[in-house]
Amino acid sequence: MNTRDNHFHLGIAGACGRGRSFRAACDALPQVRVHAVCDIDTGALPATADLLGASEQYTDFDEMLEKSDLDGVIIATPMPLHAPQAIAALNRGLHVFSEVPAAVSVEECREIVRAAKSSGGVYMMGENYTYIRENVLIKELVKAGHFGTPYYAEGEYLHELKGYDEHRLAARGLPPRQVWRRHWQSGIDGITYGTHSLGPILQWFDDRVAHVTCHGSGHHHVDAEGRPYAQDTSVMLCKMAKGGLAKIRMDLTSDRPHALTNYQLQGTDGCYESARGPGQDFRIWLRSRCMGENTWMDLHELEEEFLPGEMKAAAAQGAGHGGSDYHELVEFIDAAEGRRKPSIGLHEAMDMTLPGLVSQQSIAGNGRSVPVPDSRAW
Ligand SMILES: NC(=O)c1ccc[n+]([C@@H]2O[C@H](COP(=O)([O-])OP(=O)(O)OC[C@H]3O[C@@H](n4cnc5c(N)ncnc54)[C@H](O)[C@@H]3O)[C@@H](O)[C@H]2O)c1
């Protein structure tokens, strides 16, 4: 916390896009002041500054770091900017909250680790799907031993994004927002955006991925210029360091209703299958709670008993992504002010980011098994 006025002074980069969605979370935290906003969208920036209550506006990230008196930054810019901006902020001793994934290459991951190790600032990655109620509940049930030993999991992120190419946006009269997704998310074979699916699973397993193998389903879609997207569905098999297995499926081009939060978990004493669409059940079988081996129960019946109190906080209501944005920001401020370690600090962020990057090497090598570096050894 800054001694000048007992507030945590925050700068938000990419404020006119995803950055804006932290408004409700910032509003719910009286000690947080959005001091500066940064975005290259000069048309939208003044209104965004108003909305977030920021007194300073910048179009250049380095200039914001140079001129503004900040305690920390939220980096909510397009994916290829996460690492360079995080490193620049860490080099100035600022606390960093980075959007997902942490970086777009293994080398960038190494550079973040190097910068964080020599910085006084805390690095945290905002993998908000780990704060989704049902995912937290499963984590608590695993911790309490109700799954026995968890050994298999699945995560899927099925999010058709073809609309975000420059020509399609122009045809719809829309500004070129999110065009970066055409290259960085749906233009590269392999798992380019895997942390939402893998993040909660790593927490359930309390483990990291040691090896990855990845295959794709081929190319069945082209953009407005006739260029194929990356392979439609990619599946990465993650062999965990302690022996478990996870299957991560990502698909950003297939035509179908969105399904961003499909998860499954199997343990020696329990099994979980999330709802695959609106109106479906989040079903769980636990040896300790269910009458027979073929009887499911509704996960939400266990909420009262197992969901941590802070997850029920009224302040989270209304914050983005079902309250997740609130919980992760609370954790960031707590970590920056030394009250606790972030659950997705430097190495956990690398554990969630590196398998997807390594999967791009695997798919290029016809699915060969590739080891995933452990950033703790860097
Ligand atoms: N965790 C989540 O649930 C979630 C949801 C949406 C997006 N995201 C992530 O947030 C990031 C942004 O996604 P988005 O959907 O808001 O994209 P977007 O393109 O809509 O917004 C990005 C913003 O960054 C700005 N920008 C671009 N270059 C900049 C620069 N050099 N300096 C400052 N600002 C710059 C753009 O003008 C834009 O306003 C991505 O990394 C994405 O993966 C995460």
What digits encode the pLDDT tens for the residues 174-229? 777 788 999 999 999 999 999 999 999 999 999 999 999 999 999 999 988 899 99
Give the class (CATH, top level) of 130-313+342-377. Answer: alpha beta
Q: What is the pLDDT of residues 318-337, one digit of tens each?
A: 666 668 889 999 999 999 99
Q: What's the 183 CA to ligand 1 centre distance in angstroms?
A: 14
Q: What's the 171 CA to ligand 1 centre distance in angstroms?
A: 22
Q: Could you tell me whether strands 123-125 and 150-158 are parallel, antiparallel, or unpaired per DSSP bridges?
A: unpaired
Residue 18 exposure: Cα atoms within 13 Å on the Cβ side = 17
State how far the alpha carbon of 348 is from the alpha carbons of 95, 109, 193, 277, 367, in Å. Answer: 16, 12, 16, 29, 25
Q: What's the 14 CA to ligand 1 centre distance in angstroms?
A: 5
Q: What's the 144 CA to ligand 1 centre distance in angstroms?
A: 37
Q: Please give the pLDDT value at position 313.
A: 67
Round to whole Å and give the CA distance between 248 and 213: 11
Q: Is the CB of 79 under 6 A from ligand 1?
A: yes
Tokens of 244: 């478990």
Q: What's the 75 CA to ligand 1 centre distance in angstroms?
A: 8
In the chain, which segments carry CATH 3.30.360.10? 130-313+342-377
In the chain, which segments carry CATH 3.40.50.720? 8-128
Q: To test ligand 1's pocket by mutation, which of 77, 98, 128, 182 has the most ligand atoms within 8 angstroms of CB?
A: 77
Residues 6+ apart with CB under 8 A from 136: 130, 307, 308, 311
Residue closest by Cα to atom 15 of ligand 1: 18
Q: Is the CB of 177 under 6 A from ligand 1?
A: yes
Which CB contacts under 8 angstroms, 24+ apart, belong to 79-84?
Answer: 79/104, 79/180, 79/184, 79/185, 80/104, 80/180, 80/184, 81/13, 81/14, 83/108, 83/109, 83/111, 83/112, 84/108
For residue 126, the SS3 value is coil
Q: Is the CB of 116 under 6 A from ligand 1?
A: no
* pTM of the predicted model as reported, rounded to 2 decimal places: 0.96
Q: Please give the pLDDT value at position 318.
A: 64
Q: Please give the pLDDT value at position 310.
A: 83
Q: Please give the pLDDT value at position 46.
A: 97
Q: Is the CB of 316 under 6 A from ligand 1?
A: no
Q: Please give the pLDDT value at position 9.
A: 97
Q: Is the CB of 265 under 6 A from ligand 1?
A: no
Q: Please give the pLDDT value at position 174.
A: 72
Which CATH number is 8-128 given?
A: 3.40.50.720
Instruction: Please choose, from the candidates 86, 76, 78, the residue with its C-alpha nearest in 3D space to the C-alpha of residue 12.
Output: 76
Residue closest by Cα to atom 10 of ligand 1: 76
Q: Is the CB of 324 under 6 A from ligand 1?
A: no
Looking from the CA of residue 19, the nearest atom of ligand 1 is 16
Q: Is the CB of 13 under 6 A from ligand 1?
A: yes
Q: Is the CB of 321 under 6 A from ligand 1?
A: yes
* Under-70 pLDDT residues of the chain: 1-3, 313-322
Q: Is the CB of 325 under 6 A from ligand 1?
A: no
Q: What's the 252 CA to ligand 1 centre distance in angstroms?
A: 17
Round to whole Å and give the CA distance between 234 and 213: 10
Looking from the CA of residue 15, the nearest atom of ligand 1 is 39
Single-letter residue type at 68: S
Round to whole Å and give the CA distance between 22 and 332: 13
